Amino acid sequence: FVGNSTYLDDHGPPPQKVLPFPSQVVYNRVGKCGSRTVVLLLRILSEKHGFNLVTSDIHNKTRLTKNEQMELIKNISTAEQPYLFTRHVHFLNFSRFGGDQPVYINIIRDPVNRFLSNYFFRRFGDWRGEQNHMIRTPSMRQEERYLDINVCILENYPECSNPRLFYIIPYFCGQHPRCREPGEWALERAKLNVNENFLLVGILEELEDVLLLLERFLPHYFKDVLSIYKNPEHRKLGNLTVTVKKTVPSPEAIQILYQRMRYEYEFYYYVKEQFHLLKRKFGLKSHIRKPHPRPEFFIPSPLETEEPIDDEEEDDEKWLEDIYKR
């Protein structure tokens, strides 16, 4: 044994860097759910804690062909560990292509609020620059830009009806064509993936608690995240990216949205319940509210949550075309 250890001492591989567990994390961020806030924090955290933050410039391609999935999974899997990869992309099953399944994290938001934020952001941008939205959606015609939200919903414009409104679930359901079809199949598969592949899916309305849990579950990535988030310098940035010219649709229009988005709401309430169970388990108290009745039976006034830094706009025309081609 002594000889053997001497041999290893002389010829063995250099000691490997001890990696934290998990050392492969994917944040497949959902559009308009505060992910620019989180990515901004991750940039600061990656420098502070020395992990590899891998971001993507592709914002408008959430659904991939089989070859594109293989290529992306290969690229992610070969990144230097510990890494955190982030991109607007529907759930990818690494093990299907022989890769190690990473740990997933994500954040979602009340579906009507997410939709309204996206609707007005596409048209009018934010306070970062009056012309920002013109650059982002240059091909939008004036009559479309100033289309009244109530008209869009009540007269069933494509932007305000399915499949456009079926938006959050596919991020969790995955790349299967049926994940784009509003229905029970996609909903149940999304829930299953949340249970089996996601370490945490948080709720934007309770972002500080999301950050606290991320710090607890993934300290190598998120240690001190809350103090950075609460730093006045960082808070100042948020004010530049609040979506402008937002108006609240009529109760009738909101009721129609709720009916069209009933699967999105089933998923949202499921995730919220799981999130609150986790919070209780780790001693974080939720504000006690009466549970909502199911969406189709009430007319809510949209929650006015503080807008964290908004996501860059995604152009979703491409996936719409894909649906209509099928």
The CA distances from residue 156 to 256, 260, 287, 319, in Å, are 10, 11, 36, 19
Separation between Cα atoms, residue 117 and residue 113, nearest integer Å: 6
H or E element: which one contains 104? strand 103-108
Long-range contacts of 142-146 (CB under 8 A, 24+ apart): none
Cis, peptide link before residue 158, omega less than 30° from 0: no
Q: How many Cβ atoms are within 10 Å of 22's Cβ, its own excluded?
A: 17
Going by their DSSP bridges, the two strands 83-86 and 103-108 should be labelled as unpaired
Annotated active-site residue 11? The verdict is: no
Q: Which of 11, 49, 88, 90 is catalytic?
A: 88
Give which of 263, 285, 221 is closest to 44, Cα–Cα.
221
Please list the helix, strand and coil fractions of the chain in percent, rounded to the nearest 5, in that order. 55, 10, 40
Separation between Cα atoms, residue 326 and residue 324, nearest integer Å: 6
Check: CB of residue 320 under 8 Å from CB of residue 163: yes
Check: CB of residue 26 under 8 Å from CB of residue 91: no
Q: How many Cβ atoms are within 10 Å of 311's Cβ, its own excluded?
A: 22
**Token output for 3:** 């000889």
The residues assigned a catalytic role are 88
